Amino acid sequence: MTARLTRRALLLAAMLGTAGCSTVVNRLTEPDIPDTLKPPGGAARHPVAHLLNRAAFGPRPGQIEQVEKMGKESWLDRQLDYQDIDDDRVGWRLRRYDSLKLNHRDLLSFRGGDDKNYLQNELAVAALVRAVYSDRQLYEVMVGFWSDHFSLYHYKDEVAMLKTADDREVIRKHALGHFGDLLRASAHSPAMLIYLDNVLNEKSHPNENYAREIMELHTLGVEGGYTEQDVQEVARCFTGWSVDGRGEFEFKDEWHDPGEKTVLGHVITAGGGKDDGDRVLDILIDHPNTARFVCTKLARRFISDDPPAGVIDSCVASWQAT
């Protein structure tokens, strides 16, 4: 690489979760992003403080000096290799919260229990403990980012129980991984399918809630170029994607609309069964508006509320190249 990379360039490359992160890094160069940012009406922020406020949960005592000594890029390199960071002290603090490890069936056993908020409270406390004590700060920040992106209402029906599994198997598993893997995991998440009513989506009475939200909120964005016809067709593709009595994903073939569909100009041939929904996911992952929508959200989170347009353009180009 000929250009010196900023901390934000490296961070954004990792956030994209693409196989070719180095391509993104190579495109995001120092001239595109100022080394310091000036808040409205205030003085320019210290670059390390800005980094720790954006890519972590704020600087700990002495951490600004520590990061200055090791270098911002070295700190980010270490954070991106989060699995190499010893996090045993967090595991020790969370050892009493047994619900974090429960499978779907056992989580559902809390349905109708005396303490309806037990699971929610343990998950919330775990998030706080990790934010305060974990040295995997960037990873935990990304867990929060994707939890907002793939948001669930924690108190709706069985979501109250199954969000714990969604957090563990969808968000935390893929927080610094490939966006496509994350989207696919979310689409198969029982908590998501219940929250957005896809468990009610059958060929005789299609439910469009998940179809609309996966395009508007998860991939393309509200102005992402899809039509009401696309919403209806995506809903048809996802008919039968449901949840069984154990709280696990289940495809109900008898609920599925077997006819031909057309989604965003792509013809999905008749008789595909569950593959219809998987094909929709591939279409959305590869769509250029998904890259722009997600890149923009990441840039706003990790750079500023009004990130340089060139940064977003470079990220989109690199996303599409990989």
Look at 81 and 116; give whichever has higher pLDDT: 81
Q: Per residue in 171-195, pLDDT tens? A: 999 999 899 999 999 999 999 999 9
What is the separation of C-alpha 319 from the centre of its chain, rounded to a whole number of angstroms?
16
* Residue labelled with tokens 């500023």: 304
Host H or E run for residue 286 = helix 275-286
pLDDT value, residue 115: 65
pLDDT in tens, 303-320: 888 888 888 888 888 777
Average pLDDT, the chain: 86
Q: What is the Cα–Cα distance from 292 to 280, expressed in whole angstroms?
A: 18
- Of residues 111 and 210, which shows the higher confidence score? 210
Q: For 206-229, b where at least 16 C-beta lie within 10 A, e where not — what string? A: bbbebbbbbbbebbbbeebebeee
DSSP string, 242-262: EE-TTS-EEE-GGGS--S-EE
Joined together, the tokens standing for residue 177 give: 């991984």
Question: Measured between alpha carbons, how far is 22 from 49 in angstroms, rounded to an integer?
Answer: 25
CA 98, 99, 104, 110 dihedral sign is positive
261 touches 269 (CB < 8 A): no
| pLDDT top residue among 44 and 163 | 163
pLDDT digits (tens, 9 = 90+) for 56-70: 999 999 999 999 999
Residue 240 has pLDDT above 90, yes or no: yes
- Side chain identity at residue 227, one-letter code: T
- pLDDT > 70: what percent of the chain? 84
- Cα torsion 262, 263, 268, 270 to 10°: value is -50
Q: Are 213 and 196 in contact (CB under 8 A)?
A: yes
The pTM assigned to this predicted structure is 0.87
CB 164 within 8 A of CB 124: no
Q: What distance in Å separates the CA atoms of residue 105 and residue 109, rounded to the nearest whole number?
A: 7
